[in-house]
Amino acid sequence: MPPLKQIKLLKIKLLSIRLRKKMLMPFLACVFMPFFVNSAEVTKTKLVSELYFADSGIPWGMAWIPNGDLLITLRSGELKVVKKGSGSAENVTGLPKVVTGGQGGLLDIALHPDYANNAWLYLSYVKADGKGNKSTAIMRAKFDGKSLSEQEDIYIAQAYGKKNSHFGSRLAFDNEGYLYFSIGDRGQRDINPQDITRDAGKVYRLYDDGRIPDDNPFVKTNGAKTAIYSYGHRNPQGMAKHPVTGDIFSHEHGPRGGDEVNLIAKGKNYGWPVISYGINYSGTSFTDLTKKQGMEQPLWYWDPSIAPSGMTFVTSDKYPNWQGNILVGSLKFGQVIMLTLDGNQVVKAEIVKDDLSRVRNVKQGPDGYIYVAVDGKGIYRLILE
């Protein structure tokens, strides 16, 4: 065969090999890196966002009382009650002194599982120490429809600092009535999350009155913060109870990439900042590790980051074929993303609603509809066309 023809055939073979490799890479990525996702798939489901309550603030938490009224926390330090079907709201009185600024303020809200009989509700908020230092506190109070009474802090994280970032914080009750809550690492990446003698960068578990359960994982560990249930977290701003198993799921902000979804388990270390799928905001690396023995892998992670906020399980029949899946909001992209579960494994992420600007929270209401809190806009209800 003449040399020119040999060269041409060689070029064709090389091109064919390159094409096969290029086609093979996505397959290998799915097989060997099941948690990696560049972007969520866009679903064809048609959802209309209907404005339920307009507000120009930052709506952080949502909870419905038995009569159908909606309680909304605003990061600016207000708690509002939206009368069912009215679109109008009243301010609730009797709140604690809330420190606002940066990521801080009045954060999440949750009702006691037996709220109908005891009227206890729970709030997470930023508290000051009188010297300009701030930390995350959890309080409970009774609500009479207009004001709070019998207010008491049941946990104050000893993680006071000047920074206005990474306070967390979400709240959830499990099937046994234990209260779980998250507190971010307070911007002290290399100090707080991996040290169980320090608050911050943790998920905690308490009795409803603030007592520490005897079977918490570090009750017998010398010097440990005994309310800790899991550690090695960055800034969790999503938490929800699985409707069937009662397991607590959470998600947290990564740095630049590496947002995570986790199944919270007793005494487990979730790795931050020793392992991560993210990098510094500057583009530099702070760790070479994505896995390490003794540290949990996320059920799912995003790279690039979506800035997740809010989390709810779908149980409603108003969204056919969604039951049992998780909805997560995206601050960065203004989306609602559905995570499809197979058991406790996340197998797919898809965008079910976009063009919402900064989504702060996602909750399923007692009427079965999905409600979405959006910064500067208010609360929307998602209607399936």
Catalytic site residue 166?
Answer: yes
Measured CA to CA, the distance from residue 210 to residue 204 in angstroms comes to 11
Q: Among 237, 176, 177, which residue's Cα sits nearest to residue 203?
A: 237
Candidates 166, 233, 251, 253; catalytic one: 166
Task: Report CA Rg, the chain.
Answer: 23
Backbone angles phi, psi at 3, to 5 degrees: -55, -35
Residue 244 to residues 132, 182, 240, 265, 351, Cα–Cα distance (Å) = 44, 22, 12, 16, 24
Residues designated as active site? 166
